[in-house]
Amino acid sequence: MRKIACIALLVFLVPLHPAGAVDTDALVSELRGGGYVIMFRHGATDDSQKDVYPLNFTDMTAQRQLSANGREMAADVGRAVRKLGIPIGLVLTSKLNRAVETGKLLSSRDVQAVDALTDSGGGASAMANPGGANRKAGAAVRDLVNTPPSGATDTLLVTHKTNFADAFGKDAGDVQEGEAFVYRPDPSGQPKLVARVKATDWIAAAK
């Protein structure tokens, strides 16, 4: 019965476009059972700051950081996710501080920063390559997204715009700061996109 319900949910949500309304009640119900990967783009940033290449992960002055609004929104989403009873297990992020900070605010705990989720721009701004030209980087992201979560939990990933495009094509390159793509891993094939969820959708669902 659960399998039929899950299939129905996928059929309903997969065709959604970015501007489409998400059935958050149905989505949250599925997420509570675990088995999904939620991939966020980091929260809103301060545009007056720029990344300095080559990237220095220990120098906060050489990285674009979350804005006050970005921190507040990520914290609000984290509280909403916990209030909704969504069981977050593994939390992986980019090595850049804006992603690490987003991951901590979303999960309310320490995170693991990994190469595969780090800005794949490789010397250019993550905004400069929305077409997804880095195949190796894209494959690394897809491998993470297609890894089933442990137990009855959902995995949380935090990365950058370019990494979305590298992994899932040009259409994914329009991901907004703080937006999440929810995937159902399929070890026998490709991860299946279930829904795109704005930060405000999580918060509204928790109310």
User: In this predicted model, what pLDDT tens digit does every residue of 136-187 receive, in sequence order?
Assistant: 999 999 999 999 999 999 999 999 999 999 999 999 999 999 999 999 999 8
| Secondary structure of 62-84 as H, E, C letters | HCCCECHHHHHHHHHHHHHHHHC
Position 4 pLDDT exceeds 50: no
Instruction: Report yes or no: 180 and 196 within 8 Å, Cβ to Cβ.
Output: yes
The pLDDT value recorded for residue 16 is 39
Rounded to two decimals, what is the model's pTM?
0.85
Please say if the pLDDT value at position 9 is more than 70.
Answer: no
β-pairing, 192-197 with 180-184? antiparallel
Which residue in 43, 16, 2, 7 sits closest to 180, CA to CA? Answer: 43
When pLDDT is cut at 50, 70 and 90, the band that residue 2 belongs to is: very low
In this prediction, residue 120 carries a pLDDT of 85
On the question of pLDDT at 64 being above 80, the answer is: yes
**Which secondary-structure segment (H or E) carries 92?**
strand 88-93
Q: List % helix, strand, coil for the chain (3-state, nearest 5).
A: 40, 15, 45
Per-residue pLDDT at 1 exceeds 90: no
Angstrom distances, CA of residue 56 to CA of 6, 119, 122, 126: 43, 12, 12, 15
- Checking if the pLDDT of 37 tops 80, the result is yes
pLDDT on residue 133: 60
Is the pLDDT assigned to residue 36 strictly greater than 50? yes
